[in-house]
Each structure stands twice: as C-alpha cells, then as structure tokens.
Amino acid sequence: MIDGVECEHLAFRGVDTDWQIWVRERRASDPAKNTVITSKTLAAAPQYSLRIKEWKTDVPAEADTYVFKPPADAKKVDLDAFGHDGV
C-alpha cells in the first residue's frame, strides 16, 4: 500500500545495481512510488529514491514530436573510420 492505494511491487536485480518500482493496480501508467535504486558497488549499498506525487503527461501527440532534428552545424560521422563493422 502506498498512500492508501494497493500497488504491485516489482524488484529487479543486476550485477551492480538493484531497483524497485511500485505500480498502482489497474493504472500501470501511473507509478505510485517511482523507483528505489540500490548501488551495490558502494560501501553500505546506499539507496536512492524517487517519488513523483503528480504526473503531468500532457506531452504533444504530433507525429514529429520525437523525430531527431540535428543541429544545423552537425556533421555525419563515418563509422567505418572507427572500425565499426555495421553490427
């Protein structure tokens, strides 16, 4: 329970970091307590917590909102010059 709301608790383990998220039931797009990250590479395994109380998701829905727009002075890099094999 987070703020009186029943939540699903998901926990994930990694080599260097563990993290957890609490998600309100029936509202997966609205986490109740966003994340707790535990760093296992630092002494005492400190935890960092992020809690967002109010989600504002009024992101524009136009098709070009998330299209990459390089700066005018951007230059294309030839990846072959760095030994990139295209994979």
pLDDT of residue 23: 80
pLDDT of residue 26: 66
pLDDT of residue 43: 83
In the chain, which stretches have pLDDT less than 50?
none
Token look-up 């707790």 returns 36
pLDDT of residue 87: 56
pLDDT of residue 72: 93
pLDDT of residue 35: 76
> CB under 8 Å to 62, separation ≥6 — which residues?
none
- The upper half-sphere exposure of residue 19, i.e. CA atoms within 13 Å in the direction of its Cβ, equals 11
Among 11, 10, 12, 38, smallest CA distance to 24 is for 10
Residue ranges per structural domain of the chain: 1-52
